[in-house]
Structure 1
């Protein structure tokens, strides 16, 4: 077998449709654009036009607020952290940080940090160094003798 002999399976690829190349092509005459009028021509942008009436996107009021300083945090429950400790993916002796959680597979993306939530049961004494923690999570961690250090929030990169 030579490199020049390699082919796709028969029927695996189709030739592209050549629009406007005669009646026999199946896309001749109007070329799939219907008949006549502004929209049948090229270079037309009338997406929000309603025939002179005020378009709906201008009639309706603007809503909401985009906060440029918001943080996109990973939320992890204490029960999920305990499951990772039990499975041997997390070392109870070392501090639990974002990097450690990513390495253990508890969190997939770094985002802007980790917030610990209080759902589930925690039995291991752990030290957390995270971006945030709920009151119930802090209570659960301190109940078993662990500690939580909240890292100062660095401003997210300009979007």
Structure 2
């Protein structure tokens, strides 16, 4: 099995919330892609309920694209402590942090969860706008850092 980057991170030493650049990769044709760890909660101490992280995924999928160009994917972490963001180019973590904070402020103003229906979502009954707002408020109050070991 090839090495998994996130398994090399000492999850006992990180201090959430943070934005961490995991890697920048160059494809065979010269394309550059960056992957980020958007950690909302402290690993092994906190986790988001699935309905909250699912709703945040739906909301951030749109809001981040409004605030950042070149997003390829936003995926929730299986441990439910944050998200992975994949984006074209060699992007500075500070730019990601700014766009994430702006997007989370937009979550606080949201009136509904986008694509909350059986046509557009595979588990549309498991979404919590209230939870998405509460976790957005929580991490905005704590503040994101670009330093993950403090």
TM range (shorter): under 0.3
**TM-score normalised by structure 1 residue count:** 0.20
Answer 1 or 2: which has greater helix percent.
Answer: 2
**TM-score normalised by structure 2 residue count:** 0.20
Answer 1 or 2: which has greater strand percent.
Answer: 2
With a CA cutoff of 8 Å and minimum separation of 6, indicate the structure with the bigger relative contact order: 2
